Amino acid sequence: MHTPVLLKEVVELLEAGPDKKIIDTTFGEGGHSKALLAAGANVLAIDRDITQISNFKLQISKGSLILKQGNFRDIVAIAKAADFAPVDGILFDLGLSYEQLKTGGKGLSYKNMNEPLDMRLDDSCVTTAEQILRQYTEKNLAHMFMHNAEEILAAPLAKHILIQRVGQEQLTVGWLVGVVNSVAKSNPRPTLTRVFQALRVEVNNEFENLEQALKGALSLLGPKGKVAVISFHSLEDRIVKRFIREHGYIQIGKKPIFGDKGLRFERSAVLRVFHV
Ligand SMILES: C[S@@+](CC[C@H](N)C(=O)[O-])C[C@H]1O[C@@H](n2cnc3c(N)ncnc32)[C@H](O)[C@@H]1O
C-alpha cells in the first residue's frame, strides 16, 4: 500500500476543513484524499490511471468525494464539468504510487524484470517505452536521457541501446536492465532510476502536462486559494520553482519543505505551496 508523503503538512498548509473545496489532481491510492476528507473538506479527485480509480473503496463519513479519471493538464475542464470551482486548494503529488510500480504490469519499475516496457498511464499515450527504444535515433535517445533525467551516461547508453536492440523480439524490463548494467558497471542503481524516469516522462509527456496543469490550476483558485506541489526529482521541482518565480506568485516559506531523509519513500520529496 502507498504511504502518502508529507501528509500532515499538506492538510495543514491547504487548510483543509469543513466547507473547503480541494482538488487532489493525483489521487493515486487515495492517501491524501482520505486525509482531506477526514478534515471535512469536499474533494474532487483526479487520476490518469483508471486502475487507481477502480481499485478505490471507502466509506465516506465526512466531506464529499467526486472521483474522475483524467489528465490533470485538463484540470479546468474537469473542474468545470463537475461544477467544482472556485476552490480553496489544489494538490499535485507527482510521480507514481507504490502499487503502480509494484503490480502495475507496465514496466514502470526496473525491479520487475519480466514485464514489457509499456509505461503508458492511460490510452491517450500513443507510444510505448519499447517503441521509443526501438525507433528513436541514437541522438534522440541520448537527448531524452539527458533532458528528462540529466543522466550523464546518456550518450554511451544510447549507443549501447542501438547495438543491443538489433534482432531482439521483445524489449523487456530485464533487457533494459541488462543494457544499463553493461554501461554503468560499478554503480548501476542510480542510472537505472534515471533511465526509467526518462522513459516514463517521455511516454506520458509529464513535463508538459505539469506546465499546462499549473497554469490551469491558478485560474480555479478562490480568493485565498493555494496550490501545493510535491515533486520527486529536481527537474519537476525546477518547473514548479520557475512557474512561481515567472508569475510572481507567493511561496509559503522561503524554502520548500523537504521529505524526511530517514524515510525511503519520502526522502526525495519536495513540497512547495504557493498562492497568487
Ligand atoms: C504519487 S501518486 C499519488 C499518491 C496519492 N497522493 C496517495 O496518497 O495515494 C501519483 C499519481 O498521479 C497519477 N498521475 C500521474 N500523472 C498524472 C496526470 N497527468 N494526471 C492525473 N494523474 C496523474 C498517477 O497515476 C498516480 O496515481
Each residue's pLDDT tens digit, 126-141: 999 999 999 999 999 9
Q: Is 93 annotated as a binding residue?
A: yes
Cα dihedral 78→81→82→85 (10° resolution) = 80
Q: Mean pLDDT, the chain, as a whole number?
A: 96
Q: How far is the CA of 94 from the centre of ligand 1 (A)?
A: 6
In this structure, what are the phi and psi dihedrals at residue 35, rounded to the nearest 5 degrees? -70, -35
> Ligand 1 pocket, 231 CB below 6 A?
no
Q: In which element (H, E) is residue 103 found?
A: helix 98-103
Could you give the CA distance from residue 66 to residue 6 in angstroms, rounded to a whole number? Answer: 23
Whether 61 has a pLDDT exceeding 90, the answer reads no
Report residue 224's pLDDT band, with 50, 70 and 90 as the boundaries. Answer: very high
Where in the sequence of the chain do the CATH 3.40.50.150 domains occur? 7-99+206-275
Looking at residue 55, its pLDDT comes to 86
221 phi/psi in degrees, rounded to 5: -75, 140
Burial class of residue 248, CB neighbours in 10 A (0-12, 13-18, 19+): exposed
Would you say residue 2 has pLDDT above 90? no
Question: In the predicted model, what is the mean pLDDT of residues 236-255?
Answer: 96
pLDDT score at 57: 82
ipTM of the complex as predicted? 0.99
Q: Return the pLDDT at 265.
A: 86
Residue 166: pLDDT band by 50, 70, 90 thresholds? very high
Q: Which of 96, 108, 112, 125 is nearest to 29 (CA)?
A: 96
Please give the distance, rounded to the nearest whole angstrom, from the Cα atom of residue 97 to the centre of ligand 1. Answer: 7
* pLDDT value, residue 59: 79
Say which amino acid occupies 162: L
Find out whether 19 is annotated in a ligand binding site. no
97 lines ligand 1 (CB under 6 A): yes
Find the mean pLDDT for residues 158-183: 97
pLDDT higher than 90, residue 113: yes
Percent of the chain with pLDDT over 90: 91
C-alpha cell at 22: 480541494
Q: In testing the pocket of ligand 1, which one of 8, 26, 205 has its CB within 8 Å of the most ligand atoms?
A: 26
Confidence of residue 107 (pLDDT cuts 50, 70, 90): very high
148 vs 153: CA distance, rounded Å:
13
Query: What pLDDT does residue 264 have?
Result: 82
The mean pLDDT value for 254-274 works out to 93
Q: Determine the pLDDT at residue 72.
A: 98
Please give the residue that has the higher pLDDT: either 57 or 72.
72
| Residue positions counted in the chain | 276
Reply yes or no on whether the pLDDT at 58 is more than 90.
no
CATH class of 7-99+206-275: alpha beta
- From 3, 33, 48, the mutation candidate for ligand 1 (largest count of ligand atoms within 8 A of CB) is 48
